[in-house]
Structure 1
Amino acid sequence: MTEPEKRIALLIDADNAPASKIDVILAEVARYGVANVRRAYGNWKSPHLKQWEAVLHEYAIRPIQQFAYSTGKNASDMAMVIDAMDLLYARNLDGFAIVTSDADFTPLVMRLLTDGEKVYGFGEKKTPSPFVNACSKFTYLEALGAPPDNGKVEASAPKKAAQDLRGDARLVQMLRSAVDSGSGDDGWTRLDVVGSQIGNQASFDPRNYGYRKLSDLVKASDLFEVKQEGKTIWVRDKPRKRVAAKKTAV
């Protein structure tokens, strides 16, 4: 029996998201399920949202009008949170895709996660880290290229060199912890296990580092031994003492 498609609610903070990226956002959401709820929030009388108006009908996105009731307050944020909670309590969804670069939605993400919902975040590089780290998976919009004919969104962010990857303490710790947690006595771990472990402990997308797949990122880091048996990829932490000795000899 074919497993039913996951149902995703796509909620867009139009004030804090570029309309030019909607096609790649939808292509990315389609990897996790079908976006049967599509809503964009903002004051649609504002000229700032003209670009969003142009794509609403084309992508079947429902505009939710929110007037600015007072200066300095964002009524759109409140409306989006209220709708998210209504959708959560309706119990007919499998996850949420939230498009914003605003950290004010971090408590909402944490609340959705508490109820066991997956939350896929999308935002620009300026998105504060609390929101990025709170999501089940967060993808920078700058890291998403145009979707090719096969519908898969490629990485468009510049690839980080091995030295830069090894200099990212958080990334190195996350990778090594994931490899170590799933390893056997010989130290080898299946790459799919590593990916699952990382997904359970942090928001992570290899495309944010310029690599389309986790395997490409792992190989580029030069921190791990990699071997392939059939369709299965195995990874193991390189013996650090041996690596250090080789460098000294050079």
Structure 2
Amino acid sequence: MRLLVANANTTAAITEACAAAARTAAAPGTEIVPATPRFGPAVISTRAENVIAGHAVLDLLAEHAGSVDAVLLAVSHDTALDAARQLMPCPVVGMTEAACLTACMLGGRFGMITFGGVEMYRELVARYGFDQRLADIIGVNATPPEAVADPDSVGRKVLVAAQALAAEGANSVVLAGAALAGFDNRLQDAAPVALLDGMACGVRMAELLVALRLPKSRAGTYAPPVGRQALGISGALGALLRGDR
């Protein structure tokens, strides 16, 4: 199968980090296709950037519609996940939703580690219905570019946060940040609980959905749009809105 690993920001180094983590987790025969948007924010850390990135990632997905078997959003805000599931003819997985679902299957409450502010992640967890399972979220004092440039230093901060979350009762910890892709393998031996990377969890869930061969919904709010019109967007995205692809 061909799995599109779609970043929603324009930092190519983060795309490559996510693709590397995806390849490590992928089963034999799964081809990882990394992709970076042609426009949008360098890093998503505000509501405004997340909305802009939503357009950017939908534009990116439209370019690959029909040529991949599944999509994994390599963005920890799961940017435009619902819209992508409606538009794309294949399964679409959000990396943070996948990690949270995995945490729930491990049992008990889970913690989350991210960069800086945490409120948008609390809202995301609540939107998925997992707020009662969430022990706490810790925002480490680091940035995604720092995670790429100096993973050892950022890794030490992440490990301290994981230990604190375990002390609060978390039975597992979600690493919520595309730039943290692969940090589960880097830090797991020193961590007191399971560390869940959304890329690793998302790859396996995408493979499962493809193997199940479930049909695309033809009714309800996730049915593909038909006959919708828009100005100023790419031809590929416009074709999906019209139902031409």
Q: Determine if the TM-score, normalized by the shorter chain, exceeds 0.5.
A: no
Shorter-chain TM-score category?
Answer: 0.3 to 0.5
Higher relative contact order (CA 8 A, sep 6+): 2
> TM-score, normalization: structure 1?
0.37
More helix by share: 2
